[in-house]
Structure 1
C-alpha cells in the first residue's frame, strides 16, 4: 500500500513538471495591414513534448465581436513574419468573443509537433461564431518555438 501511494505521488509530481518551467511571453501589436484597429496585448506560450498551451489577452478590439487566432508558418510575401502571408496551422485555432470594452481572452492547446515551425501568431476578425476569418488579421506577434 505505501509503495503504491509513493509511486502514485511521484508520478503526479513528475507529471506536473512536464510543462515548460518558464513560459514564453510575446507582445501582440497591430497587424501591419490590419486596418484602423489599434489592438495590443500578450501571448503566453507553455509547451512540453506533446502540447503547446497558448493564452492570449488583447485589448483595443471591436466590442462584442468574434475573433479567431492561430499560429502561422512563414510565408513568402515578406521576411517579416506578420507580413509574410504564411499558411495558418488550423490545429491551433482558437475562437472567442470580445466583451463590451473590446477585451478578448483566448486559450487553447495544439500538438507541439504541429506548431514547432510556426513563425507568428495572428488574430483575425471572424465572420461567425465558428471562427471563419474575415480579414488578413488585426493583431500579430512573431514567435519562436
Structure 2
C-alpha cells in the first residue's frame, strides 16, 4: 500500500502546482534537452515549493558551458502547442536572476515569486537561455504538461 501512495504523489505532484495546491511540498521537475546543438550535456532540475502565496524555485544545472552567462524564465503556454509546453513559444511570466556557469559547467539560481505569476497555464515551463543570444535554449523543464 505504501508503494502506491508514493507513485500517486509522484504522478499528482506536477498537477498540483498547476492548480495552485502544492501545500508547501517541494516538487521536482526535470530539465530535458531541446533539439539543438547547444550544450549537449546540459541537464538538471527545478525544485518548486510554496509558502503562502509565494513560490520559491531553485534551478540546479550541470553540463553547461563553463564560464558562460545564462538567463532563465518561467513561460506561459504559447500558441504553438497544447501538449508540449517547451515547444509552445509562450510569453515570459517570471524571470530568474542572471547567472554564470562555474568552471565545471554547473550553476544554481533561485527565484521567489507570487503564485499568480507561475500558477496554472502561466507557469507551463522553465527555459534556460544563453544570455548572449536568448534564441538559444539548451534545456527546458515542463512544469505543466497540458493547457487548461
The alignment's TM-score, normalised by the length of structure 1, stands at 0.74
User: What is the CA–CA distance in structure 2 between the aligned matches of 1:49 and 1:35, rounded to whole Å?
Assistant: 40
1:23-102 pair list within 5 angstroms: 23-32=26-35, 34-38=36-40, 39-79=42-82, 80-89=84-93, 91-102=94-105
Please name the residue that 1:123 is paired with. Answer: 128
CA distance in 2, matches of 1:42, 1:22: 16
- In structure 2, how many angstroms separate the alpha carbons of the residues matched to 1:74 and 1:44? 20
Distance 1:53 1:105 in 2: 13
Is the 1:48–1:112 contact (alpha carbons within 8 Å) kept by the matching residues of 2?
A: no
RMSD of the TM alignment (CA)? 2.0
Deviations 1:75-127 (A, max 9, x none): 111231001111111x3333111001111111111111111121101110102
Q: Which has the larger radius of gyration?
A: 1
Q: What's the TM-score, normalizing by structure 2? A: 0.73
Q: 1:141: which partner in 2?
A: 141
Report how far residue 20 of structure 1 moved: 4.1
Q: How far has the Cα of 1:31 moved from its partner? A: 2.1
1:70: how far off? 1.1
Structure 2 stretches lacking a partner, 5+ long: 1-21
Task: Summarize the Cα distance change of 1:36–1:92 in structure 2 as closer, same or farther, 3 Å threshold.
Answer: closer
2:96/2:110 contact within 8 Å kept: no
